[in-house]
Structure 1
Amino acid sequence: MVDKALGNGGRKSDKDLKIRVKSAKGRKVSSTKWLERQLNDPYVARARAEGYRSRAAFKIKEMDEKHKLFHKGTRVVDLGAAPGGWSQVAAKAVGSTDANPLVVGIDYLEMDPIPGVVLFRKDFTEDDAPQLLIDAMGGKKADLVMSDMAWPTTGHRATDHLRIVQLIEIAADFAIDVLAPGGAFVAKVFQGGTEHELLHMLKRHFKTTFHAKPPSSRQDSAEAYLIAKGFKGPDERTNGEEDGEHEER
């Protein structure tokens, strides 16, 4: 059950219309808070109104608006694609169609089909998953590898951070193998100070690396996105001494 908070002697205002979720038998307090947050999240409402499968679609849209990740004809790989919001945005932005699919996505969770996207239900960490994606691209190089992958959280922040860094390292190794020169890599990370080796590795392979915190990423979350642009290609890798790395403001 939900009710709406009223203030100012019963007079309704935008702030007064916050939906509060009453506790229910068998529901955890954390679940109640999550439901209340979802019901009051403007990005959730926008996602429904605009036909996106999740609020996460706005994260990649906002990063693209600022950092120009997508271009017509860009070939994209979406790791951890479920429920499909990032792939939806990518397909529209790059002009991907069923006749000429430019976007390939993978996740161990089931997803409904997306026009212009080749989807695989498979755990990306399985040994044969990378080759599956390479084959789906017809042997062509990718221009953008994006990863919104995350393990289920344990509740222990340091452990969760290490686990997601491991995922990013796997995704980054894949990106280095499949990207065309000039390509880009985007991955979710929970900032916690232990990704220095990962950043150092990316700086050897990309011209610029930086963190981004799109407006649609909840401000009370440690979630951020690591963006690496300007893939140098197999013949232009240096020791990274001249590469740039900065924090987005």
Structure 2
Amino acid sequence: MTRTKTSKAWMHEHVNDSYVQRAKSEGYRSRAAYKLMEIDDKDHLLRPGMVVVDLGAAPGSWTQIALQRVGRAGRVFALDLLPVEPLSGMEFIQGDFQEDSVLAELESRLAGEPVDLVLSDMAPNMSGIDTVDQARSIHLGELALDFAARHLKPGGNFLIKVFQGAGFMEFRSEIQRHFASLQVRKPKASRDRSAEVYLLGLRRKPD
């Protein structure tokens, strides 16, 4: 009964959410578009001609923003376990980022081209068990950071969604090892009660 009430409350909030309504009227695939827009407006991560990798891209709203802002001279690679409806200019790979074969395909598509920006809005399939979900979330974050550390060009940037909880501070420290600066962002489109924050690693250190 409580679960049904909670589901109804979430649906009511979602339908009446101003960002959800804006996304529908402005043609974005989810409210998450406004999170990336706000961060990018502040930190100027996306510029024309860039090579961008978007991990956990479905339904594609971050990819939409990246494509708009890098323009035709840029390249945007999007990866997700779920399908993503085609977007003009998007280079999409469907698969599990945790599998070596999927990572190898992404690396093959890059063909040695250095990456300017790695975005990760990945989240695990939630089990409802907080400790398990947090551990899975941090593990995905570590995989994304490992990819960024190996493929970002020196000076490149890394933006990732993380949930505050066990392992969060250690993960923050790990990002700081690889980047000259670390910023924490909580955009307005992120619901206040959500434990999610965005960690921004700026200017990857040379090897």
Scaled by the length of structure 2, the TM-score of the pair is 0.94
1:73 corresponding residue in structure 2: 49
1:168 corresponding residue in structure 2: 141
Rounded to whole Å, the distance in 1 between the matches of 2:107 and 2:114 is 8
Q: Percent identity?
A: 43
2:62 corresponding residue in structure 1: 86
Rounded to whole Å, the distance in 1 between the matches of 2:89 and 2:22 is 22
Rounded to whole Å, the distance in 2 between the matches of 1:132 and 1:142 is 15
Q: Secondary structure at the match of 1:28?
A: helix
Query: 1:101 Cα shift?
Result: 5.6
Query: CA deviation digits over 1:129-171, x for unaligned, max 9?
Result: 2221122223201110111110122223333222111110000
Matched, 1:182 2:155: yes
Q: Which runs of 5+ in 2 are unaligned?
A: none
Matched, 1:111 2:87: no
Q: Greater helix percent: which structure?
A: 2
Higher mean displacement: 197-206 or 175-184: 197-206
1:126 corresponding residue in structure 2: 99
1:55-66 map, 5 Å = 55-66=31-42
Rounded to whole Å, the distance in 2 between the matches of 1:68 and 1:142 is 16
What is the number of residues matched between the two proteins? 206
Q: Secondary structure at the match of 1:76?
A: strand
Query: 1:219 Cα shift?
Result: 0.6
| Matched residue type, 2:51 | R
Rounded to whole Å, the distance in 1 between the matches of 2:4 and 2:206 is 49
Match of 1:44 among 20, 29, 54: 20
Contact kept? 1:102, 1:117, Cα under 8 Å: yes
Contact kept? 1:101, 1:117, Cα under 8 Å: no
Query: CA deviation digits over 1:201-239, x for unaligned, max 9?
Result: 2212100112210010001111111110100122xxxxx
Query: 1:193 Cα shift?
Result: 4.8
Query: CA deviation digits over 1:177-204, x for unaligned, max 9?
Result: 1000110111111112522222222212
Query: 1:120 Cα shift?
Result: 1.2
Runs of 4+ residues over 3 Å off in structure 1: none
RCO comparison, higher one (Cα < 8 Å, 6+):
2
Aligned-residue CA RMSD (Å): 1.6
Q: For the pair shown, which has the larger CA radius of gyration, 1 or 2? A: 1
Query: CA deviation digits over 1:91-123, x for unaligned, max 9?
Result: 000114xxx660000101011101111011111
| Matched residue type, 1:78 | D
Q: Secondary structure at the match of 2:100?
A: coil
| Matched residue type, 1:54 | S
Contact kept? 1:101, 1:118, Cα under 8 Å: no
| Matched residue type, 1:65 | D
Q: Secondary structure at the match of 1:230?
A: strand
